[in-house]
């Protein structure tokens, strides 16, 4: 059984945040390409996100809109207007209500917009550093990863609860937030959609075909600045993946769903099981082409004539 620390540390969150942000421009180009090229069709899952969960600019927020707070600690970007009775209190799952916008002029020059929230009777200010004109021109979306709109969770719960999907990852979590062994490419039924964390704001709770419960974390926004590689369409599919690989025998398919490999498996079967390798080396020999796959986890696979001959997982 895999032993991992409960959830992730702040440092790991920061690293993942920076990592995903580096890929934002590339992901945006891929989305534009999908729209510009009719032959490059988006998946059903991507279209589901695009139809139902495109994120809003804060200029579209209405007074009274509610947000769920995703972290234990208060963000340094949210400034309480009065001192907190207990600065060390946990804010996780508290509701922040949007009160509106105020403008503040610095030294009599350009006016900047502040976003005002209320939580349990205390006002919190987020300083955008933007004027109203700038916000309208750019469809400004504030960097507030600790908050997710309650309406998003409610809509996701309405659309997905009780729905049968097929999960695409074997990295599951239990109710306490510890990583557990899971299976992928199997049917699961969504039990609930809950708040996640400030990197992956949505938590999908499900039960598999043998009654085992699990959770995965991701995002529902196709235009999100972060997490686009752990979005709903990368976590789930509406169609049974087994139907695409009918030539794979049941024994190897069972290994694939558990993320395992064995000698004699093809490169396609190994890729389905372990994912794409981080490095590939091809070595021509008199006996044929040998290929070596290396993973950042320390796993490696050796192939001869397209079949797995040795490995370490």
Q: With b meaning 16 or more CB within 10 Å and e meaning fewer, what string describes 77-95? A: ebeeeeeeeeeeeebeeee
- Collapse the DSSP code of 11 into the 3-class scheme (helix H, G, I; strand E, B; otherwise coil) and give the result: helix
**In terms of domains, do 220 and 155 share one?**
yes
Assigned domain for 146 exists = no
Q: Which of 83, 118, 140 is the last residue of a domain?
A: 140
**In terms of domains, do 98 and 209 share one?**
no
**In terms of domains, do 162 and 219 share one?**
yes
Between CA 136 and CA 18 the distance in angstroms is 26
**In terms of domains, do 157 and 236 share one?**
yes
> E strands, the chain, where?
66-69, 78-80, 95-105, 111-119, 122-127, 147-149, 164-167, 171-173, 179-181, 187-195, 202-208, 213-218, 236-237, 279-285, 288-294, 300-304, 307-312
Residue 240: partners with Cβ closer than 8 Å, 6 or more residues away: 166, 187
- Collapse the DSSP code of 72 into the 3-class scheme (helix H, G, I; strand E, B; otherwise coil) and give the result: coil
**In terms of domains, do 99 and 233 share one?**
no
Assigned domain for 145 exists = no
The confidence score (pLDDT) of residue 25 equals 39
Assigned domain for 87 exists = yes
Domain that holds residue 198: 1-55+151-240
Of the pLDDT bands very low, low, confident and very high (cuts 50, 70, 90), residue 285 is confident
User: What is the edge-to-edge ordering of all strands in the sheet holding 288-294?
Assistant: 279-285, 288-294, 300-304, 307-312
The confidence score (pLDDT) of residue 286 equals 81
Q: Is the pLDDT of residue 157 over 50?
A: yes
Q: Which of 88, 105, 140 is the last residue of a domain?
A: 140
**In terms of domains, do 67 and 99 share one?**
yes
Q: Which of 145, 150, 142 is nearest to 93 (CA)?
A: 150
Please, what is the average pLDDT of the chain? 86
**Each residue of 115-125: pLDDT tens digit?**
999 999 999 99
**In terms of domains, do 99 and 170 share one?**
no
Average pLDDT rounded to a whole number, residues 207-215: 97
Q: Which of 219, 240, 261 is the last residue of a domain?
A: 240
Q: Is the pLDDT of residue 6 over 70?
A: no
The confidence score (pLDDT) of residue 288 equals 79
As beta bridge partners, residue 202 has: 195, 218
**Each residue of 221-271: pLDDT tens digit?**
887 655 445 899 999 999 999 999 999 999 999 999 999 999 999 999 999
Contact call for residues 171 and 146 (beta carbons, < 8 A): no
What's the burial of 172, exposed, middle or buried (CB within 10 Å: 0-12/13-18/19+)? buried
Of the pLDDT bands very low, low, confident and very high (cuts 50, 70, 90), residue 108 is low
**Each residue of 197-206: pLDDT tens digit?**
988 999 999 9
Least confident span in 16-20, 211-215, 233-237: 16-20
| pTM for the full predicted model | 0.81
**In terms of domains, do 109 and 175 share one?**
no
CATH number where 284 lies: 3.30.1450.10
**In terms of domains, do 82 and 130 share one?**
yes
**In terms of domains, do 50 and 62 share one?**
no
Percent of the chain residues topping a pLDDT of 70:
84
**In terms of domains, do 75 and 88 share one?**
yes
Phi, psi of 302 (to 5 degrees): -115, 130
The confidence score (pLDDT) of residue 222 equals 83
Assigned domain for 273 exists = yes
The confidence score (pLDDT) of residue 4 equals 46
Assigned domain for 267 exists = yes
> How many domains, the chain?
3
Q: Is the pLDDT of residue 23 over 70?
A: no
**In terms of domains, do 301 and 160 share one?**
no
């Amino acid at each position: 059984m895999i032993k991992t620390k409960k959830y992730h540390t702040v440092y790991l969150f920061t690293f993942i945040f920076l990592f995903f942000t580096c890929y934002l421009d590339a992901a945006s180009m891929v989305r534009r390409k999908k729209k510009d090229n009719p032959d490059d069709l988006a998946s059903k899952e991507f279209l589901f996100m695009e139809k139902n969960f495109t994120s809003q600019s804060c200029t579209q927020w209405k007074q009274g809109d509610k947000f769920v707070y995703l972290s234990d600690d208060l963000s340094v970007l949210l400034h309480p207007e009065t001192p907190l009775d207990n600065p060390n209190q946990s804010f996780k799952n508290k509701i922040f209500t949007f009160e509106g916008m105020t403008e503040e002029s610095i030294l009599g020059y350009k006016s900047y917009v502040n976003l005002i929230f209320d939580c349990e009777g205390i006002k919190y200010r987020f300083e955008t550093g933007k004027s109203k004109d700038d916000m309208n021109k750019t469809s400004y979306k504030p960097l507030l990863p600790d908050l997710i709109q309650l309406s998003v969770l409610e809509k996701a719960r309405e659309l997905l609860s009780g729905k049968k999907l097929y999960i695409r990852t074997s990295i599951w979590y239990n109710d306490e937030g510890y990583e557990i062994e899971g299976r992928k490419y199997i049917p699961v039924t969504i039990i609930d959609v809950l708040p996640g964390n400030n990197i992956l704001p949505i938590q999908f709770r499900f039960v598999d075909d043998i009654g085992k419960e699990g959770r995965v974390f991701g995002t529902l926004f196709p235009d999100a600045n972060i997490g686009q590689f752990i979005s709903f369409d990368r976590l789930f599919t509406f169609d049974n993946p087994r139907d695409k690989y009918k030539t794979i025998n049941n024994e190897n398919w069972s290994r694939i769903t558990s993320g395992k490999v064995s000698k004699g498996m093809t490169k396609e079967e190994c890729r389905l099981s372990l994912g794409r390798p981080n490095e590939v080396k091809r070595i021509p020999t008199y006996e044929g082409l040998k290929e070596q796959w290396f993973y950042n986890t320390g796993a490696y696979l050796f192939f001869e004539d397209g079949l797995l001959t040795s490995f370490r997982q």
